[in-house]
Structure 1
Amino acid sequence: MEPTPLTYPHPTAPEPGVPVEVAPGLLWLRFPLPMALNHVNLWLLQDDDGGWTLVDAGIGNAASREIWDGLIAGPLADKPIRRVLVTHMHPDHIGLAGWLCERFTAPLVMTLAEYATARATWSDDRPEVSAAHAAFYRAAGLPQEAVEMVEARGNVYRRGVSPIPVAAHRIRDGGSFPIGGDPWRVMVGEGHSAEMACLYSARRGILISADQVLPKISPNVSVWPSEPEADPLADFLRSLSGLRQLPAETLVLPSHGIPFFGLHQRIDWLAAHHAERLALTRELCRKPSTVAELMAAMFHRALDRQQMMFAVGEASAHLNRLVAAGEIVRETGADGVWRFVGR
């Protein structure tokens, strides 16, 4: 299935540390990431006093800190960051939020579920956590060497996230958040993360979509060891339906890729993409099948460790969607591995 063509008003991405204006008082920053998805977009919205509201902070590593040092000494030297709004708790978004909040004495702004999950994930390094993760991937049918590799990782979240502030300003779905004299509506997106904050300005016709709608790739929608029976795909598709109520001419500012017009087309493609994967899942489950077997059917390429975990999560999300719909059942074999089969 080919994606519907989109329109890109800013076809060239900025270089790291070089702000680009995409609308009056709204700057686009791009930061590198040390992974296959090699960048994340951040957004600076100018406040009435000349300072900035920062949307997302970049991953917590030395390369990102160096870029921020250059921005703070250069383009942002006379315009401080007044608050740090983090769309969700993934390291590429929250990584340097605490570091920046401390540097500017700025408050952290998040939804409650994202903030609480970030605090818990950052703090929890009990060995029981690694053991539970290993049990999840073992039940998914991964080979023992892959399970051991996961178990040996420890708390990798903390390695990419600076200490999280002990307090935050809470934003809620449907609430209005004023920035630079404009009310930005908080639209919570679920599925990719628990309570991700997207921001919509009706006056400007702009949606900061975070990871909910991306122009080139499907956002990762995964089941994780912390909630093995979750149904994130239902949450994701429901959230897409809410965003589709926005005007078709909305300018979308995504966290990955480049700004685009074509919100409705992109949402329709994402829904169709998951419908195709659900059809593949139904077909595979005509006989008892493991998560690992569905993963192999979905992803026809070599996967590194991080990609493998995302792929297991994606396969599990489609299986759990059909379990919740009553179309298939999950059975645990004598070997402890889950197998899914149609009713």
Structure 2
Amino acid sequence: MNTQNQVSAKTEVHYPLGGLLPEVGSTIEVAPGVRWLRMRLPFALDYTNLWLLRDEIDGVAGWTIVDCGIANDETRASWEQVFATQFDGIPVLRVIVTHMHPDHVGLSQWLCEKWNVPLWISMTDYLTAQRLSCKEGGVAVGSRAGSGGSADHFQRHGLTAPEDLEKIRGRSNYYSNMVPGVPRQYRRILDGESILIGGRSWKVMMGYGHAPEHASLFCKELGVLISGDMLLPRISTNVSVYDADPDADPLGLYLDSIEKYLALPEDSLVLPSHGKPFVGIRPHIAQLKVHHDDRLADTLGACKNPAHARELVPVLFKRELDIHQPTFAMGEAIAHLNYLLRRGKLRRQLCDDGVLRFSEV
């Protein structure tokens, strides 16, 4: 999930489909054998994009689904409408999930069981989703706040208001409510491997920072990149530090990961998980780099005197945040601090009040 931090409006990115959007329960063909559908979300991003790829396995014609939507009755009903009206009478053959966030993996178990097909996903994200979907699974990757893990983590970074901490503790089943389970078995996908889908090769490109092991898919023949959340057209991808890995450097991992996409053809059609399909990979990545350079400069400037992550939130996010977003904003603030700490630009001190503060070297 993403914090919707706006990227600069000055852009060479363009949208070949204009304002065209698929209605929920319907699809739009964006390339030969590639259909775009959307599912509603119960938080600020409103919709997530999912993809249908025309496929054939062992002589059986059907569909590969890429990403699933969250597990709720509305999304299931939307899928049932898609099955009835968009499938041309042929079945699902497999489900591919780009990463473990609820809007991508949430209904994977339901879809795989309904069609008796395998789930394809990276190992790290499968195991993470498996752990978090279990209500007794413990605390990890931010979307679980049970046992005080996330609350303690953010309190250590200056989020001390009792009402804020109580809200975080009250969301202990946030992930498992949207991802009640994942299939018992899966097929691991690996960086650089080629998956044959409908007679076309789709190369797996793993990225890091937004999720543990995020898979994008590129088809050279079609000139199409299914980018997941790694490249989003109008908002910056959330990169956060969570309680399970408090010294992580997800921003460094993310910035390194997006360099891979610069090798793709400039006229590639990018199919993101949020927003509209776009063309313009290189200018978009240049925007993202400028955006994060600016945010890192803001972070460094805010740490001329010792500061903690909670004090950085209004520096990095100029708008009001809804109930779902403060934890992601805190996670991203810590990510910027850890990035600068790792590179010797900041020092960190645990103060007498139990809060970590950062100051310029």
Q: CA deviation at 1:77?
A: 5.8
SS of the residue 1:330 aligns to: strand
Q: Which residue of 2 aligns with 1:28?
A: 36
| 1:83 has 2:94 as partner | yes
SS of the residue 2:313 aligns to: helix
- 1:120-199 paired onto structure 2 within 5 Å: 120-125=131-136, 129-142=146-159, 143-199=161-217
Q: CA deviation at 1:330?
A: 1.5
The change in CA–CA distance for 1:3 and 1:188 in structure 2 (over 3 A counts) is farther
Number of positions where the alignment pairs a residue of Structure 1 with one of Structure 2: 343
Q: Which residue of 1 aligns with 2:3?
A: none
Q: Would you say the 8 A contact 1:99–1:162 is kept in 2?
A: no
Q: Would you say the 8 A contact 1:189–1:236 is kept in 2?
A: yes
| 1:298 has 2:316 as partner | yes
Q: Would you say the 8 A contact 2:227–2:272 is kept in 1?
A: yes
| 1:73 has 2:84 as partner | yes
Q: Residue type of the partner of 2:310?
A: A
Q: CA deviation at 1:126?
A: 6.1
Q: Residue type of the partner of 2:264?
A: L
| 1:105 has 2:113 as partner | no
**Counterpart selection for 2:304 from 261, 286, 310:** 286
Q: CA deviation at 1:86?
A: 0.3
SS of the residue 1:283 aligns to: helix
Q: CA deviation at 1:197?
A: 0.4
The change in CA–CA distance for 1:290 and 1:301 in structure 2 (over 3 A counts) is same
Q: Residue type of the partner of 1:62?
A: D
Q: Would you say the 8 A contact 2:44–2:322 is kept in 1?
A: no
- Within 2, Cα distance between the matches of 1:250 and 1:77? 28
- Within 1, Cα distance between the matches of 2:360 and 2:343? 11
**Counterpart selection for 1:329 from 323, 347, 350:** 347
Q: CA deviation at 1:204?
A: 1.1
- Within 1, Cα distance between the matches of 2:218 and 2:44? 29
Q: Would you say the 8 A contact 1:231–1:317 is kept in 2?
A: yes
Q: Matched residues, percent identical?
A: 44
| 1:268 has 2:286 as partner | yes
Q: Would you say the 8 A contact 1:16–1:30 is kept in 2?
A: yes
Q: Residue type of the partner of 1:279?
A: A
- Within 1, Cα distance between the matches of 2:271 and 2:122? 19
Q: Would you say the 8 A contact 1:331–1:339 is kept in 2?
A: yes
Q: Residue type of the partner of 1:63?
A: E
Q: Would you say the 8 A contact 2:131–2:138 is kept in 1?
A: no
Give the TM-score of the pair, scaled to structure 2: 0.92
Q: Would you say the 8 A contact 2:98–2:121 is kept in 1?
A: yes
- Within 1, Cα distance between the matches of 2:39 and 2:262? 28
Q: Residue type of the partner of 2:150?
A: H
Deviations 1:202-261 (A, max 9, x none): 111110000000111101111111111100001000011111111111110101011111
Q: Residue type of the partner of 1:99?
A: W
SS of the residue 2:215 aligns to: strand
Structure 1: segments with no counterpart, 5+ residues: none
- Within 2, Cα distance between the matches of 1:245 and 1:75? 34
Q: CA deviation at 1:166?
A: 0.9
Structure 2: segments with no counterpart, 5+ residues: 1-7, 140-145
Q: CA deviation at 1:196?
A: 0.5
- Within 2, Cα distance between the matches of 1:126 and 1:157? 11
Q: Would you say the 8 A contact 1:199–1:207 is kept in 2?
A: yes
SS of the residue 2:326 aligns to: helix
- Within 2, Cα distance between the matches of 1:104 and 1:77? 15
The change in CA–CA distance for 1:208 and 1:132 in structure 2 (over 3 A counts) is same
Point out the more displaced range, 98-107 or 76-85: 76-85
Q: Would you say the 8 A contact 2:119–2:185 is kept in 1?
A: yes
Q: Which residue of 2 aligns with 1:4?
A: 11
Q: Which residue of 2 aligns with 1:213?
A: 231
Deviations 1:165-202 (A, max 9, x none): 11100000011111001111000011111110000011
SS of the residue 2:236 aligns to: coil
Cα-Cα RMSD: 1.3
Deviations 1:78-128 (A, max 9, x none): 121110000000000011111000000010000111101100111253677
Q: Which residue of 2 aligns with 1:14?
A: 22
Q: Would you say the 8 A contact 1:192–1:222 is kept in 2?
A: yes
- 1:204-243 paired onto structure 2 within 5 Å: 204-243=222-261
Q: Would you say the 8 A contact 2:134–2:181 is kept in 1?
A: no
Q: Would you say the 8 A contact 2:132–2:138 is kept in 1?
A: no
Q: Which residue of 1 aligns with 2:333?
A: 315
Q: Would you say the 8 A contact 2:11–2:283 is kept in 1?
A: yes
Point out the more displaced range, 251-260 or 6-15: 6-15
